[in-house]
Amino acid sequence: MTALTPASEVLLRHSDDFTESRVLFAGDLQDDLPARFETAASRVHTQQFHHWQVLSAQMGEDAQYGLVADASTIGDCNTLVYYWPKNKPEAQFQLMNILSLMPIGSDIFVVGENRSGVRSAEQMLAEFSPLNKIDSARRCGFYHGSLEKQPEFDEHSWWDEYQHEGLNVKTLPGVFSRDGLDTGSKLLLSTLTPHTKGKVLDVGCGAGVLAVSLAKHSPKVRLTLSDVSAPAVEASRATLAANGIEGEVIASNVYSEVNGRFDMIISNPPFHDGLQTSLDAAHQLIRGAIRHLSVGGELRIVANAFLAYPDVLDETFGNHEVIAQTGRFKVYRSVVVRGAKKKR
């Protein structure tokens, strides 16, 4: 997160307006501008662990990660700068949470790329902080308002759930495939055979449906689930609990907080970070797997068929096979072989 996003470049055009403000930055924070922006005081709240890692390294305790902000997060901030995400329910959850804590009269700024749907901020906040567009550049919109009314916010009312093959899947705004199991994950699930044993790591676990589906027919597996997303971490914990399944769920930037080795790593890796296309997480997943798998252990991932993962799998493991495919998706399997040397 070094190059500035278009949204941050627009914000910089107005930097003189913030030098005496106590600013809370939140939303889709794709760069480190909050750590460098000149203000009277700056704080950050993010639901994305990898963004928190970068910002907390520069801002310390003034950068906070978690599902919801609380009074300690807001502190004495009198200004919100919210980066609009591509997921509207996620934006609504975060804004209702934060605005319920900000003092009346606070300056509210919303910035985002037009393609993210940032225009809908005006309607969403009309009751609480009527917005006016104050700039339009870099294919972004920049809006300002003053907080006139604090919304009511009850975290529990935002939970949702769906059923999958007799399992109860808990979800929250911002969780991948919040409304039901996606096609790629279904294909990956179809390859997981009953009576799987050993330690299994689910990277990018979302709502936890892959892990609980595996545990349903393979009760002897020992599960670890990880995700960068705070909503996903909390949803996975709730999904495990709802189905009486034991497992550890951790916030981790791919393997950053993962310890030990596993017999299998499964994943439906993302290839977007917010609005930006990025294969970084998937490449980290593949290349780092070799250090977190036992000999004979396997990495099993599902991906869009057009993504060029075979070369990275071969460079890392020296092998790969396609064990299931449709017109859109492929499931890849690579195994750690004793004594095998990685291809260069």
- DSSP E strands: which ranges in 165-273? 167-171, 199-203, 222-227, 248-251, 262-267, 272-273
Backbone region of residue 27 per phi and psi (left: phi > 0; alpha: psi in -120 to 50; beta: other values): left
d(CA 81, CA 243): 39
Domain that holds residue 197: 159-335
Task: Please name which of 145, 143, 144, 142 lies closest in space to residue 10, comparing C-alpha atoms.
Answer: 142
d(CA 271, CA 265): 18
Q: Does residue 231 sit in the same domain as residue 138?
A: no
Spatial contact of 137 and 7, defined as CB atoms under 8 Å apart: no
- Is 219 found in the same domain as 317? yes
**In this structure, is residue 69 part of a structural domain?**
yes
Q: pTM of the predicted model, to two decimals?
A: 0.94
Verify that 224 and 328 share a domain, yes or no: yes
**Are 169 and 300 within one domain?**
yes
Is residue 147 a contact partner of residue 102, using CB atoms and an 8 Å limit?
A: yes
- Domain assignment present for residue 344? The answer is no
- 186 and 228 fall within a common domain: yes
Tokens 């990025």: give the residue. Answer: 278
Per the DSSP assignment, residues forming a β-bridge with 162 are 169
**HSE-CB of 263 using CA atoms within 13 angstroms:** 9
Domains held by the chain: number: 2
Q: Do 307 and 241 sit in the same domain of this protein?
A: yes
Q: How many CB atoms lie within 10 A of CB 305?
A: 12
CA dihedral 94, 96, 98, 99 (to 10 degrees): 150
**pLDDT, tens digit only, all 344 positions of the chain:** 469 999 999 999 999 999 999 999 999 999 999 999 999 999 999 999 999 999 999 999 999 999 999 999 999 999 999 999 999 999 999 999 999 999 999 999 999 999 999 999 999 999 999 999 999 999 999 999 999 999 999 999 999 999 999 999 999 999 987 777 889 999 999 999 888 999 999 999 999 999 999 999 999 999 999 999 999 999 999 999 999 999 999 999 999 999 999 999 999 987 655 555 567 888 999 999 999 999 999 999 999 988 889 999 999 999 999 999 999 999 999 999 987 554 43
